[in-house]
Structure 1
Amino acid sequence: MDIAVLSGLIILVMLVIMLVAGMPIAVALGVSSICAILPILNFEATVVTGAQRIFSGISVFSLLAIPFFILAGNIMNKGGIAVRLINLAKLVTGRAPGALAQTNVVANMLFGSISGSGTAAASAMGSIIGPIEKEEGYDPNFSAAANIATAPTGLLIPPSNVMITFSLVSGGTSVAALFMAGYVPGFLWGLACMLVIYVLAKKKGYQSTSRFTGKEALQVLLQAIPCLLLIVIVIGGIIFGIFTATEGSVVAVVYSLILSLFFYKSIKLKELPQLFKESAEMTGIIIFLIGVSSIMSWVMAFTGIPTAISDGLLGLTNNKFIILLIINILLLVVGTFMDMTPACLIFTPIFLPVCAALGMNTIHFGIMMIFNLCIGTITPPVGTTLFVGVRVGNVKIETVFKQLLIYFAAIFIVLLLVTYIPQISLWLPGLMGYV
C-alpha cells in the first residue's frame, strides 16, 4: 500500500475513534499523527521530532496576537459595549419590518467583529434583544433563529483569530489581507439574513413603532463611537502599516481597558484578574492545539498526503467548479462536528494545494474555508453558537432548527457567490495593494 494512503488511513481511523471516545482533540491529533509516522520512523525519532515540531509550531511571533485579541474580546464582552451597539443598530434599522430582529443582525455584525466570538455575540445580543422582542409579540423561535443565523458574521468581519491561525498554517498569508478580504463576505451574510427577516416579518406582521428623536439619535451615535473606534484604530493601524497585527492586538487590549475602566466604568479593577485568568485558559487551549497540529502538518508533508489527495481530486475531474463544490461540501460536513480552529489547522494543508493547482488565490481560499467553518458553528451536533443561541433564547433546538432552514438557504447562496466570484473576497485587498 502507498505510504501516503496508509498514513492517511491511520490518521483518519484513529482520529475518528478517539474523538468518538471523547478524547480531547489536541491529544487525538498528536497520538494519531505519531502513530501514522511510526511505519516509517522508529519510535524515538518520532517522539523527538514531534516535540521539536510542537515547539517550533508555537514559536511564531504572530501567534502573540491571539492571546491579546482574546483578552480584548473578554474585556469588551463585559465592558458594557453590547447595549450601546444595540442602540446604534436600532438607529440603523429604523422602522423596517422585523426591526428588532434586523437590529439583532446589525448588532451581531458589530459586536462579533469587536469581540471576535460568534458565541459571545449570540449570548450578549440574544439575552438583551430577545426579551424585548418577546414583549413586542415576536415568536421566540423567530427571534432565536435570527440571532443564531447571524452570530458568526463577526468571525468573518475582522479582527478574527481564525484568520491569524489560517495565516500561520497556510505559510504566512498576510493577516492584513485576510482581514480586508473578510469584510464583504461577512456583510453579504448579514444582508442575506436581513432579507430573509424582512420577508418573514412582513408575512407575520412584525412592525416596529419606535422612533428616535434627533437628540436621541445623536446621543446614541455619540455613545457608540468609542466602541466603533476600536475597529477603526486597530484595523486602520494594521492596514496602513502603523503597527503589525500582533502590535494591533496589544493596542486593542489597552484601548478596551481604558474604555471599560475609565470611560464607561463598567469593569472594576478587582474583576481584571478573573478576566486575565479566563483569557489565559482559552489561549492555552488554542496554542497547544496549534502546537500539536504542527506534528500532523509535518506528518502529512513527510508522507505526501496532501499531494495524494490533490492528485485524487484532480483525477476525478478537471472542472474547477465541481472540485470547489466538492471541497465546500467536505468542509461543511467537517464543520458540523469539529470546531473552527482544529478544522482550519487540519484541512488547510490538505485542500490548499488542490486550490493552488486550480489557480485559486490563497486569500480567496482562506475566506471560503472560514466561511464554511463559520456555518459549522450553527449546525448540530457540535455547533457551539447554535446551542448558546438556543439556551439564551429559551427555545428547543428542534423547533428553532426548522426556522433556521431558510437562513441556511440564503447563507449557502452567499457561500457559492464567495466561492465562484473571487472579487467578492479579493476586491478590498486588491484596493489596498495586497493582491
Structure 2
Amino acid sequence: MTDPFTITIVLIAFLAFGGLSMGLAMVCGASVYLILKGFDPSIAAETMLQGLFNSYTLLAIPLFILAADIMNIGSLADKLLRFSQAVVGRFKGGLGHVNVVSSLIFSGMSGSAVADAVGMGKIIINMMTKDGKYTKSYAAAITAASATIGPIIPPSIPMVLYALVSDQSVGYLFAAGMAPGLLMGVVLMLMNSIIAHRRNFETDTSIAIREIPAITFQAIPALLLPVILLGGIYSGVMTPTEAAAVAAFYALAISVVLYRSVSLRQFYATLLGSARSTATVGILIAGALAFQYVVTRENVPDSISAFVGQYDLSPAGFLLMINVLFLVLGCILESGAILLIIVPIFIPTAQALGIDMVHFGVVVVVNAMIGLITPPYGLLLFIVASITKEPMGRIIRDLMPFLIALLVALGIITYVPDFVLFLPRLIGYQG
C-alpha cells in the first residue's frame, strides 16, 4: 500500500496546481493523512485553532496589511515619492534612483513587496514612462526589483512569519533586516547608474533646490512613521504587534486629518480589501500549521538532518544549498508558503550546524523575496507586467542585471553574518 505521507504530498501538489489555494490544499492533505493513519481528523482543526489563537505576534500581520493599504489610497505615497525625487532625482537615471529610494522609505511602513509594487509601483512607472525617457519594460523591471526590499527593511510580514515558525524575536529580526535592505538598495542604484550611462538615458528634470525644504516639510509626517514604529519597538514602549496597530492608526490619522486624502467610501473599501488579504494569509498559516503536524509525525526534519549529515556539509555548503533551493522554489511558491512549509523542515539542521537563527531568517526571507522576481514565474513579474501591459520577455531581459546585483547582495548577506547581526547585537542580541 502507498505510504500515507506520499499520498498527502501528491494530493497537496495536485490540488495546488489545480487551482486551489495552497492553504486549503494543505488542510485537505493533512485531513486525508489523519484519516489514512486512523487518527481523528479533528486533530487538524485543533492544531490550526491552537496555532492561530495562541500566537499574539500574528495579530501584527492584518494591522501591517491595513497600514499599507491606507498608505496606498492616501497621499502618503505621493509625498514620499516627491521627497525621493528631490533627493536623488537630479542624478543620471534619476527616476530609477527615485524608484529604489521610494521603495526603501515605503518599505519602512508597509512590510510587503506586493503592496510596494501595486501602490508605489504604479505611480513611479507612470512617471518613468510618461515622457518616453524610459521604456515600459525597464520601468517594470526596476520596480519589481526594488519592491523586493519591502519585506527586508522593517516592518516585515515575512519576518513575522519566520518568527512564528522559528520562535525568534520579531524585534531582533526587524533589526537584522535593516543593513541587508540598505545593501539591496545600494546595489540596485549602482546597477541603475551603470545602465543609465551605458544606454545614455536623458537626465530627468530635477526639482529646484529652493523647493526641497518645502517638499521635505510636507513629507515629514509620512517620514516619521518608521521612526515612531521602530523607536517604539526598540525603546520597549511597544511590542511589534502594538507597533503595527499604531502604524495603521497613524497612517489613517495623517491621511484623513492632515492630508485629507481619504474619503469614507475609500476607507470602507480599504477595510474590505485588507480583510480579504488577511483571510488569504490566515488560510495559508492555518494550512501550514496542519501540515506541520503531519511533517512532525513523519519526523521529516530529523530525516533531512540525517540526509545532510551523510554528506558532511559545512555551514557554508548548507547555506549554498538553501540559497539554490529557495531561489528555485521562489518562482513556484509564494513567499508565505516557503516560510511556513519549507523553512521549518530545515531549521533543526541549521541549528545543528551552529547557524545563527536570526541570520538564517534574514537569508531565507531575502531568498524568498528574490524568488518573487525569479523568471519565469515570479509573482512580482506578473504584477508589473499587468501594470505596464509589456511582454514578459522584455521585462525579464531588463530585469536580469538587477537580479544579478541582488544575488551579489545575497552572497554578502549569506556569508558575512556579522553584517546582518551587527545591529541586533547593539540592542542586546546575544547570538
SS in 2 for 1:375: helix
The answer to whether 1:55 aligns with 2:52 is no
The letter for the 1-side match of 2:173 is L
The answer as to whether partners of 1:317 and 1:323 remain within 8 angstroms in 2 is no
1:78 to 60, 64, 73: 73
Distance apart, 1:159 and its partner CA: 0.8
The answer as to whether partners of 1:307 and 1:353 remain within 8 angstroms in 2 is yes
Counterpart of 1:33 in structure 2 is 30
The letter for the 1-side match of 2:334 is D
Distance apart, 1:404 and its partner CA: 1.0
Counterpart of 1:425 in structure 2 is 420
The answer as to whether partners of 2:89 and 2:95 remain within 8 angstroms in 1 is no
Distance apart, 1:372 and its partner CA: 0.7
Counterpart of 1:162 in structure 2 is 158
The letter for the 2-side match of 1:233 is I
Distance apart, 1:142 and its partner CA: 1.9
The letter for the 1-side match of 2:152 is L
The answer as to whether partners of 2:22 and 2:287 remain within 8 angstroms in 1 is no
1:147 to 143, 156, 169: 143
Are residues 310 and 35 of structure 1, via their aligned partners in 2, closer, same or farther at CA, if it must alter by over 3 Å? farther
The answer as to whether partners of 2:89 and 2:97 remain within 8 angstroms in 1 is no
Distance apart, 1:38 and its partner CA: 4.5
SS in 2 for 1:155: coil
**What are the equivalent positions in structure 2 for 1:31-430 lying under 5 Å apart?**
31-38=28-35, 41-43=37-39, 45=40, 47-59=41-53, 60-134=55-129, 135=131, 137-170=133-166, 172-208=167-203, 210-430=205-425
Distance 2:369 2:229 in 1: 23
Deviations 1:338-394 (A, max 9, x none): 111121100121111111111111111111111111012123454222111122233
Distance 1:26 1:94 in 2: 43
Distance apart, 1:127 and its partner CA: 2.7
Distance apart, 1:190 and its partner CA: 1.4
Distance 2:370 2:385 in 1: 16
SS in 1 for 2:79: helix
The letter for the 1-side match of 2:12 is L
Deviations 1:88-119 (A, max 9, x none): 11122142220111111111221233222222
2:18 to 17, 21, 32: 21
TM score, norm. by length of structure 2: 0.94
SS in 1 for 2:331: helix
SS in 2 for 1:337: coil
Distance apart, 1:232 and its partner CA: 0.6
The answer as to whether partners of 1:145 and 1:401 remain within 8 angstroms in 2 is yes
Q: Which moved more, 1:319-328 or 1:196-205?
A: 319-328
Q: Percent identity?
A: 34
Distance 2:274 2:180 in 1: 28
Q: Which moved more, 1:123-132 or 1:142-151?
A: 123-132
Q: Which moved more, 1:255-264 or 1:269-278?
A: 269-278
The answer as to whether partners of 2:138 and 2:398 remain within 8 angstroms in 1 is yes
The answer as to whether partners of 1:65 and 1:245 remain within 8 angstroms in 2 is yes
Q: Which moved more, 1:30-39 or 1:184-193?
A: 30-39
The answer as to whether partners of 2:25 and 2:287 remain within 8 angstroms in 1 is no
Distance 1:286 1:132 in 2: 32
SS in 1 for 2:271: helix
Deviations 1:263-289 (A, max 9, x none): 000101233222111111111121222
Distance 1:274 1:94 in 2: 33
The letter for the 2-side match of 1:95 is R
Deviations 1:145-182 (A, max 9, x none): 11111111011111111111111111x21011111111
The answer as to whether partners of 1:112 and 1:152 remain within 8 angstroms in 2 is no
For structure 1, the 5+ residue unaligned runs are none
SS in 2 for 1:156: coil
The letter for the 2-side match of 1:161 is I
Distance 2:133 2:428 in 1: 49
The answer as to whether partners of 2:315 and 2:355 remain within 8 angstroms in 1 is no
The answer as to whether partners of 2:327 and 2:374 remain within 8 angstroms in 1 is no
When the two chains are superposed, the root-mean-square deviation of aligned CA atoms in Å is 1.9
Distance 1:327 1:314 in 2: 15
The answer as to whether partners of 1:29 and 1:296 remain within 8 angstroms in 2 is yes
Query: How many residues were matched structurally?
Result: 428
Distance 2:206 2:416 in 1: 39
The answer as to whether partners of 1:337 and 1:380 remain within 8 angstroms in 2 is no
The letter for the 2-side match of 1:217 is I
SS in 1 for 2:151: helix
Q: Which moved more, 1:342-351 or 1:204-213?
A: 204-213
The answer as to whether partners of 2:24 and 2:283 remain within 8 angstroms in 1 is no
Distance 1:286 1:129 in 2: 27
